Amino acid sequence: MKNRYDVIVVGSGPAGLGAAFKLAENSDKSILLVEKKKISSGGLRNDCKQNYTYPVGFPFEHWEKDEVDELLKEVKNHLNPKMETRQNIEKYEKRARKIGVEILSIDQAHVGTDKSSALINSLIEKLRALHVEVALNTEVKELSNDKKEITLLSGQVIEFDHIILAAGRADYDWVQSQMNTLGINYNDNIVDIGVRVETKEENYPIVRDYYDPKILFPGKVRTFCTNSGCAHIVKEKYKGYFSVNGHSLSKENKRNNLVNFAMLKTIRLTEPVVSGQQFGKILGEMVMQLSGGSVIMQRVGDFRLGSRSKKETFNSDLYDFEPTLKSAVAADLSLSMPAKILRDIWKSLKMLDTIIPGILHPSTIIYYPEIKTYSNRPEFIDKNFMVKDGYYIIGDGAGTSRGITGAWASGIRAANGILNRS
C-alpha cells in the first residue's frame, strides 16, 4: 500500500463496492478499498437476495423512484441478476387489501449463500483489473480530526483527498466514534425489532410463486428477508448479544422444505431517548440473560396456550419439524419482548394467517430477537452523502440503505459526488 490515495473506501460490502466500481470506471483516480475481514465483502456473502423495485431497500428520506430506477440499472450491470418469477399472487393481494394489508410486487434475484463467494471473488478481481488496490484483512483504526488521513490497526498512516466510510450495521459504533472525532452531528433514533418465523413450506405456499414476499401491515410491521428451498436460521454476533437472521442455499441444493422470514416492527423513538441502537442492544442483552447466552424460540402452539416452550416438549407429536437453529433456547416470548412490539407483531401474524392460512400452525417456531440497527443518521451536507468536505458516509450503517441493492446505489451516489467535484 502507498501512503497516499485520491480516494479511500472503507468497507467492501455492497456500498463500498458500488462506490469503488463507479470511481474506477469513470476516472483515473488512485483508489484504495480497505476491508478488515480476510474475505470480502460484507453482507453480500449471506444469501444475496437482490431486490430491484423501489422502495424496498431505499429509505424514503433519501431516495425517489426515478433516480432509483436509473441506479438499479447500474447495479444490475455489475451483479448480473437472474430474476425470479412472480405469479399467482392476485388471490393473496385481494385478501390482503380487505384487511388493510399491502403486498408489494418486487422484482427479485437470489444467489444463495453457497454461490455468493464466487460472485464476490469475481467482483474483486474486476476491481483489481481496474487498478483499484484492494486491501483485505486490513482494519482502519481511526480517522484524524484535523488531517485527511487514516491510521490502520498496523500503525500505517495513509493520506487521502476523499474518503467514503461504508462500514455496515455491525460496526455502527465505530462509525459513531469517527463521527465524534470529525465533529459530525448524527442522530440514532430508529431501530427495527422483531422475530423470525420458521415453518414448513406447505404452511406458507406463497413462496413457491413469490420468492421473498414483501408484505406491509398496520403498526409499521413488515415481512423481511424470506428464505425457502434449502433455508436455515443463523445466529449473528453483535456487541453484547446475538440476533437471529436467515439465509438459504442456491437452487441446486436439496430442499429442506422449510421457510423462514422476519416480522419486523420499526420503532422511531422520540425525545428524551438517547439512542435507538442502545435500546436494541439492551433488548438483545435481556434475551441473553434469560437464555443463558443465546437466542430464544417458542412454538406457536405453546405461545397460544400461554405456556413457555420447554426443551422436553419442544418436539412433541404436533411439532413435526426440527428447528434449524439448534442452539436457540426453548423459552417464553412474552417474558422477553416489550408488550407493544409483541402485540403488533402477533396481530400482524394473525393477519398473515388470514391471508395465507397455515402460517400459524402449532408447529411454527418464532425466534427472538431479530434486531436491525440501521439508525446512524449523520447530518449530510449534500445529496451525495457528504458529511464534511471530502468525507462521505454510506450504506446500511449510515441509514442510507436497507439491503444489498440500496447499499450499492448509495455507493454510486457518493462516487458521483466525488466525480462531480473533480
Ligand X SMILES: Cc1cc2nc3c(=O)[nH]c(=O)nc-3n(C[C@H](O)[C@H](O)[C@H](O)COP(=O)(O)OP(=O)(O)OC[C@H]3O[C@@H](n4cnc5c(N)ncnc54)[C@H](O)[C@@H]3O)c2cc1C
Which residues of this chain interact with ligand X, rule CB under 6 A?
10-16, 34-37, 41-44, 46-49, 51, 139-140, 166-169, 171, 174, 225, 234, 236, 245, 247, 395-397, 403-404, 407
CB of 100 to ligand X, least distance (A): 27
Closer residue to ligand X in complex, CB, 76/308: 76
Closer residue to ligand X in complex, CB, 198/396: 396
Query: Residue 124 in 3-state DSSP?
Result: helix
CB of 336 to ligand X, least distance (A): 21
CB of 167 to ligand X, least distance (A): 4
CB of 188 to ligand X, least distance (A): 16
Closer residue to ligand X in complex, CB, 168/284: 168
Rounded to the nearest 10°, the torsion over CA 114, 117, 118, 120 is 140
> Cell for 237?
454476533
- Identify whether the C-beta of residue 290 lies closer than 8 Å to the C-beta of residue 331: yes
DSSP string, 248-285: E--TTSPP--EEEEEEEEEEE--TT---HHHHHHHHHH
Closer residue to ligand X in complex, CB, 32/360: 32
Alpha helix segments (H runs only) across 83-169 = 90-98, 113-129
> Cell for 299?
412454538
Closer residue to ligand X in complex, CB, 188/302: 188
Strand pairing report for 258-268 and 221-227: antiparallel
The Cα 13–Cα 166 span in angstroms is 7
Beta pairing partners, 368: 296
Cα R_g (the chain), whole angstroms: 22
User: Smallest Cα–Cα separation from 147: which of 158, 135, 156, 139?
Assistant: 158
For ligand X, the nearest residue by Cβ is 43
CB of 379 to ligand X, least distance (A): 19
Closer residue to ligand X in complex, CB, 47/192: 47
CB of 398 to ligand X, least distance (A): 8
CB of 311 to ligand X, least distance (A): 26
Residues with Cβ within 8 Å of 153's Cβ and at least 6 positions away in sequence, in order, are 36, 138, 139, 140, 141
Residues with Cβ within 8 Å of 295's Cβ and at least 6 positions away in sequence, in order, are 235, 242, 243, 244, 287, 325, 327, 328, 329, 367, 368, 369
CB of 96 to ligand X, least distance (A): 23
Closer residue to ligand X in complex, CB, 15/345: 15
